[in-house]
Chains A and B, each alone.
Chain A
Amino acid sequence: MAKMENINFGIDLGTTNSGIGKFQAGKVTIFKNPVGFKDTLPSVIAYRNNRILVGDKAREMTTINPDQVFSSFKRKMGSAHLYQVPDSCETKTAIDFSALILKELLGFITEEKPNAAVITIPASFDTIQSNATKLAGEAAGIHEVLLLQEPIAACLAYANVQNIAIDELKNWLVYDFGGGTFDVALVSIDNRELKVIDHEGNNFLGGLDIDHLVLEKLLCPALEKELQEENLWKQMVNGENTAYSKLFFELLYRAEEAKKELSIKEEAFVEIEIAERYIEILITRKDFNQLIHPKVDETIKLTKHLLEKNNIKNSEVDRIILVGGTTYIPYIRTCLSQVFDTHVDATIDPTTAIILGAGYYAGTKNKQTTVTKEALPATLKNVKLAYEVNSKDNEELLTGIVDQDFSGYYRVTRTDGGFDSGIIAFHSKFNEFLKLVPKTTNIFNVKILDKYHTVVYENEHIGINHGIYNISGQPLPNDICLEIDDTLGTTYLEQVFRKGDILPLNKKLYKTISKTILKASGEKLIINIVEGKSDTSPASNLCIGYLEIDSEDLPSNLLKGTDIEIDFDISESRDLTVNIYIGAITLEINQVFNASAKQVSAVKITQELEKVLVELENIYDDEFEMADVPKLEELRVEVIELLKLLIDIDGDLLTDKIYNIDERKRKAFQAYDHLIRRRNVVAEIEEYQAQKNEIREELLLKPNPKIEHAFNNITKNEIKFLNSNQSSIIRSKIRELQKIANEIYYQNDQSYIELFYYYAIKPIEDYTDENQAKKIMNNGQKAIDKENYAELKAIITSLYHLLKVKPKNFFEDQNGTLGLK
């Protein structure tokens, strides 16, 4: 037996805005417009520069090219009215335009497009208008269209979302105050059926009228005073003064924003900039309510009339449900409640209520016809798309060639929702300049549609990189890195530019000072820029920029944690310019490093070699493979020899021996990386994983949201840092995990027994007052016997304070050697 399927898709085909939703898992999900990500689509079509624009961009054209913009065509549904398409002899009907809107809505769905849907219609639609809506649905590829009156959809939305049980016959009023129209419907509702008894409305009353009122009656008089102008409103709307025409649109936007703000707050400030003067106007909710009172009254009169003509008393109205964005205004809700003395239900978003209701209805209706899965329209083959993958221009040309005698349309959108070419007719070849977001990758979606606007080709993976590469420049042969301190007392490399990046290059890094450098303390802040591989030891790379800032040269003390800006600039000829700015002490240094001059510091080389020698002397040969043991010894000898040579050339400013040492040092460090560092990184990754698993198990046994949050924060980018080959970064992460493990450990009171014994077994002479310490220790033992952990914790704190030398905090950040992290 064939499985009965429900329709599930609900569409609000509105006069001003439309939207689409789907019933799934007991609720309705509204699809967002992939262009701009809004829940709704303005029901507007425009023709401009041979493009068909649908939605927001089409509505934008209303003021400048009204003859090319088609809106409110829903009002002409079912009539013989023909719209003339600009610059062509084509004519369109309201059905054609509605079909375009429906197709656009279907485009919001990323999954398979539906062949059946519920479409809402106004309560006032007659049979011809209803049939016209069905035809529009069919033209959009929806073979089975079920119509639903808008007030019924609204009732369904409210009833379903709140799960209202309706056991007896009730009257609901659907008060629909949208952007451009007002409708009110009386609906009878019981557990079996919903019926629109009667309705009233005004097609030319909406939120926009309110915005105009705010502008004309509140903003204009205030501005007239400030600008010493008269008849500002008239000057703005008569179109004679361009500056005032522009001001009109800005003020209209500000008026709408103020209206929204007044729905939440008691007063709103409107700030307008005119000729570099900022004028502030205060609007109170009281002023606003007084202003809109006549408009609200108009809707109330229509509602009263609706009830009177149907002999329904206010007391017989169970509730008033709200639809349309204008009903967000609190005054409307208060007025309705006071005048009709009934419950005003505003529990769901009034702008999407109709979509929700249509979706709920669709979720209960079986598809009547068994539509055999229609064969997809012949898919276009041999479509060739040509474009540059890398670009420095703001726009990049895309050429599409269809290897057939094809006529149809194309459309290109950017997947971030910021670009839409519109629908454009073409014959076998098209060219489109694609707008690029700077300094990033731009992904485009290209669709080709047949003459019925059905998609016959789609490519979602057109990627164009902006600014990342310059086609004409030379690529960097190696990474350029800055050496920085970690929190463990060692250093590592941070990549500034990547191998393959094209010259010239510029980048700004924001770092912090990692140790306090007091003026005249003899300490130095070291900026070391190297060329090589970012995932290796700093000392194995070639130094291309080295700068020491002596404490004597500082205008004042440089404190740990101070921000430092470092701006790197590499010219086509590979000259490196570094600009250092420390705002806190107003220090700015600009230094050019010439590519031909090697940068070497004997002191720094010595420190690097001494550090690695300590490490080499503390490793055990048996931890290495047999073949590597002689290489380790060779490395040890080389390091010692280099240190000797450095002593020998002390004071030698003439010969280039230091460069030779530097070269040998880099080679030695490359060998070190190969033999030891790589092995260390593997061990550190293993340690990280073990620590992570241990914490995860602990959290499973004893969940703690705070610790879990911290844990997730540490591990969230682990693919990146575990593959960084940077020992410093992995070790920092291990330490952060250890910190968490420590926190988990001390969640358990019994852990403090162990901590107490740590203090108790210390030699008594380690304490400043031995008698006092003994006494406290005795009390500690008693607290353990009594399982009094609160007392035990206090005793441990007392012992800590009595210690002559405080134990080292394992988790404390180490001071850096360079002074920069």
Chain B
Amino acid sequence: MKDIITQLFEIENKIRPEDFQAFKRNFQRIYHELEQEGYTVINPIGQPYDERDVAIEANISNEDKRALVITKVLKPIIYKSEGGIRTLIQKAVVIVG
């Protein structure tokens, strides 16, 4: 399932912002259905880099004086909840710069 979610995430990111409105409800619905099945999908784009966030596999290009921020997300974070217990099933793969 995590591969399907990652593909969905890629499709979502390929849609140009000006065209996205037409697909918005469909994505909301899909993510809602995924949540019903126990999957939580998180896109960490724009978040500051945090070395404590082990749900993220970061590729850090350069640490200059600016704060490090996640600039690109290649794979989203996916958690799966079963029997009231949530487990990380996919780490995000991100570019930090």
A249 adjacent to chain B (CB < 8 Å): yes
Residues of A within 8 A of B16 (CB): 276
A811 to B47 Cα, complex, angstroms: 52
Residues of A within 8 A of B32 (CB): 508, 510
Interchain CB contact (< 8 A) of A60 among B29, B40, B60, B72: B60
The answer to whether A416 touches B86 (Cβ under 8 A) is yes
Residues of B within 8 A of A416 (CB): 79, 85-88
A248 to B61 Cα, complex, angstroms: 8
The answer to whether B25 touches A246 (Cβ under 8 A) is no
A438 to B79 Cα, complex, angstroms: 12
Residues of B within 8 A of A61 (CB): 51, 60
B65 adjacent to chain A (CB < 8 Å): no
The answer to whether A250 touches B72 (Cβ under 8 A) is yes
The answer to whether B58 touches A60 (Cβ under 8 A) is yes
In residues 67-97 of chain B, which contact A (Cβ within 8 Å)?
71-72, 74, 77, 79, 81, 85-89, 91, 93, 95, 97
Residues of B within 8 A of A435 (CB): 50, 52-53
In residues 1-43 of chain B, which contact A (Cβ within 8 Å)?
13-14, 16, 25, 28-29, 32-33, 40, 42
Residues of A within 8 A of B53 (CB): 418-419, 435
The answer to whether B61 touches A242 (Cβ under 8 A) is yes
Would you mind naming 19 contact pairs between A and B with Cβ atoms under 8 Å apart?
A36-B54, A36-B88, A36-B91, A48-B51, A57-B51, A64-B63, A242-B62, A246-B72, A248-B61, A249-B61, A253-B59, A276-B16, A415-B85, A416-B88, A417-B54, A419-B52, A419-B53, A419-B55, A422-B52
Residues of B within 8 A of A63 (CB): 59-61
A620 adjacent to chain B (CB < 8 Å): no
Interchain CB contact (< 8 A) of B54 among A35, A239, A415: A35
A56 adjacent to chain B (CB < 8 Å): yes
A445 CB to closest chain B CB (Å) equals 13
A169 to B51 Cα, complex, angstroms: 52
A278 adjacent to chain B (CB < 8 Å): yes
A777 CB to closest chain B CB (Å) equals 50
A49 adjacent to chain B (CB < 8 Å): yes
The answer to whether B59 touches A250 (Cβ under 8 A) is yes
A245 adjacent to chain B (CB < 8 Å): yes
Residues of B within 8 A of A278 (CB): 14
A758 to B97 Cα, complex, angstroms: 77
A820 CB to closest chain B CB (Å) equals 17
Residues of A within 8 A of B74 (CB): 250, 253
B51 CB to closest chain A CB (Å) equals 5
A278 to B14 Cα, complex, angstroms: 8
B10 CB to closest chain A CB (Å) equals 8
A437 to B76 Cα, complex, angstroms: 14
A124 adjacent to chain B (CB < 8 Å): no
A37 adjacent to chain B (CB < 8 Å): yes
A650 to B75 Cα, complex, angstroms: 62
Residues of A within 8 A of B54 (CB): 35-36, 56-57, 417-420
Of A65, A248, A417, A510, which is in contact with the most chain B CB atoms at under 10 Å from its CB? A417
A56 CB to closest chain B CB (Å) equals 7
Residues of A within 8 A of B42 (CB): 437-438
Extra inter-chain contacts (12) besides given A51-B51, A245-B62, CB under 8 Å: A246-B97, A250-B59, A273-B14, A415-B85, A416-B87, A416-B88, A417-B87, A418-B77, A419-B54, A420-B52, A420-B54, A510-B29
Closest B residue to A33 using CB positions: B54
B58 CB to closest chain A CB (Å) equals 5
Could you give, for residues 755-788 of chain A, a 1 whenever the CB lies within 8 Å of some chain B CB and a 0 otherwise? 0000000000000000000000000000000000
Residues of A within 8 A of B52 (CB): 51, 57, 419-422, 435
Residues of B within 8 A of A415 (CB): 85-86
In residues 698-729 of chain A, which contact B (Cβ within 8 Å)?
none
Count residues on chain A whose CB falls below 8 Å from chain B CBs.
Answer: 44
In residues 10-56 of chain A, which contact B (Cβ within 8 Å)?
35-37, 48-49, 51, 53, 56
A209 to B70 Cα, complex, angstroms: 26
In order of increasing CB-CB distance, the 3 nearest A-B pairs are A249-B59, A418-B55, A64-B63
A581 adjacent to chain B (CB < 8 Å): yes
The answer to whether B86 touches A440 (Cβ under 8 A) is yes
Closest B residue to A244 using CB positions: B61
A421 to B89 Cα, complex, angstroms: 20
Residues of A within 8 A of B62 (CB): 64, 239, 242, 245
Q: How many Cβ-Cβ contacts under 8 Å join chain A to chain B? A: 108
A488 adjacent to chain B (CB < 8 Å): no
Residues of A within 8 A of B77 (CB): 418
The answer to whether B88 touches A37 (Cβ under 8 A) is yes
A440 to B16 Cα, complex, angstroms: 31
The answer to whether B79 touches A565 (Cβ under 8 A) is no
Residues of B within 8 A of A36 (CB): 54-55, 88, 91
A583 adjacent to chain B (CB < 8 Å): yes
A252 adjacent to chain B (CB < 8 Å): yes
Closest B residue to A60 using CB positions: B58
Closest A residue to B72 using CB positions: A250
Q: Given A417-B87, A508-B28, A510-B32, do A422 and B51 touch, yes or no (CB 8 Å)? A: yes
Residues of B within 8 A of A437 (CB): 40, 42, 79, 86
A57 to B14 Cα, complex, angstroms: 29
The answer to whether B51 touches A249 (Cβ under 8 A) is no
A593 to B82 Cα, complex, angstroms: 38
Closest A residue to B63 using CB positions: A64
A706 to B37 Cα, complex, angstroms: 22
A53 to B54 Cα, complex, angstroms: 11
B7 CB to closest chain A CB (Å) equals 11
The answer to whether B59 touches A252 (Cβ under 8 A) is yes
A253 to B58 Cα, complex, angstroms: 11
Residues of B within 8 A of A418 (CB): 53-55, 77, 79, 88
B29 CB to closest chain A CB (Å) equals 6
In residues 220-279 of chain A, which contact B (Cβ within 8 Å)?
239, 242, 245-246, 248-250, 252-253, 273, 276, 278
A60 to B95 Cα, complex, angstroms: 11
The answer to whether A64 touches B60 (Cβ under 8 A) is yes
A494 CB to closest chain B CB (Å) equals 14
Residues of B within 8 A of A253 (CB): 59, 74, 93
Of B42, B63, B95, which is in contact with the most chain A CB atoms at under 10 Å from its CB? B95
B43 CB to closest chain A CB (Å) equals 12
A167 to B40 Cα, complex, angstroms: 54
Closest A residue to B52 using CB positions: A421
Residues of B within 8 A of A581 (CB): 25
Closest B residue to A563 using CB positions: B29
Residues of B within 8 A of A563 (CB): 29
A533 to B4 Cα, complex, angstroms: 39
Interchain CB contact (< 8 A) of B51 among A53, A242, A510: A53
A453 CB to closest chain B CB (Å) equals 18
In residues 665-713 of chain A, which contact B (Cβ within 8 Å)?
none
Residues of B within 8 A of A565 (CB): 25, 29
A36 to B61 Cα, complex, angstroms: 23
A367 CB to closest chain B CB (Å) equals 34
Residues of A within 8 A of B61 (CB): 63, 242, 245-246, 248-249
A620 to B25 Cα, complex, angstroms: 51
A574 to B79 Cα, complex, angstroms: 34
Residues of B within 8 A of A421 (CB): 52
B73 CB to closest chain A CB (Å) equals 11
A440 to B48 Cα, complex, angstroms: 21
A579 to B44 Cα, complex, angstroms: 29
The answer to whether A60 touches B57 (Cβ under 8 A) is yes
Interchain CB contact (< 8 A) of A417 among B55, B93, B97: B55
Could you give, for residues 480-491 of chain A, a 1 whenever the CB lies within 8 Å of some chain B CB and a 0 otherwise? 000000000000
A419 to B61 Cα, complex, angstroms: 22
Residues of B within 8 A of A49 (CB): 51
A245 to B60 Cα, complex, angstroms: 9
The answer to whether A250 touches B29 (Cβ under 8 A) is no
Closest B residue to A53 using CB positions: B51
A245 to B85 Cα, complex, angstroms: 39
A536 to B70 Cα, complex, angstroms: 49
Q: Given A37-B88, A435-B50, do A246 and B29 touch, yes or no (CB 8 Å)? A: no
Q: Given A60-B57, A278-B14, A508-B28, do A246 and B86 touch, yes or no (CB 8 Å)? A: no
